[in-house]
Structure 1
């Protein structure tokens, strides 16, 4: 058992830190990210199978975000169906958004989460910006460890 009360064999996605130079590093400073894939998987939960057509991206781990967010482009590429509309509050005030059914896959662990994703015009320069934000909806499904003293940065999955 780890010092975080997490069984030693528990899988985790390593958190990296994306800096302004577009590279990721093992230690801060930078924005905490994991490699993730946004997709729509109608066979979710159907058992082992070969998954193809994955487009990994850096996903920002945002403990201040209640929901998950993605760019309209990423949502369209993933084929996520719209299930509703919403008004979201961001730094600039209220904005209209669309709500989509999506699956967030963490390739490093093989775990996939069925969740809602809201459309948002995130900073995405096509190469270094995050086109996906993982919020508390997914974070709370596992355990987030950001231990700056011990240099341990992981998103454990359960």
Structure 2
């Protein structure tokens, strides 16, 4: 009986810890993220600058747990937003700016591409609710 109770208590602690680890950070009220430039529909060269903007939230490097802060992730040609409760992926279509950068020079192949920003918390998790920009389209020459 004592062994069962110990195991049950341990299982409860582990379950609680895992639930806390995957809990999304609450988004500050009115927090917004947006692409300052280029404008939607712009024609750009293969290498161009993307400027990021925020409202009602501060930027901080990844790992900084200061309340009401986050950092940018640029989604390139992504149709579906990253899943809630999981870190934003890192790959060619999900660029991380974990040093609280406000702009980046990116290089894309010629053609039509979509760009969208999503803010991540200190652990690269989307906020709840998700803080995401409007999706824009650029035409790369």
TM-score tier by shorter-chain length is under 0.3
Rg (Cα) greater in structure = 2
Question: What TM-score comes out, normalization by structure 1 length?
Answer: 0.23
Structure (1/2) with the larger strand percentage: 1
Structure (1/2) with the larger helix percentage: 2
Question: What TM-score comes out, normalization by structure 2 length?
Answer: 0.24
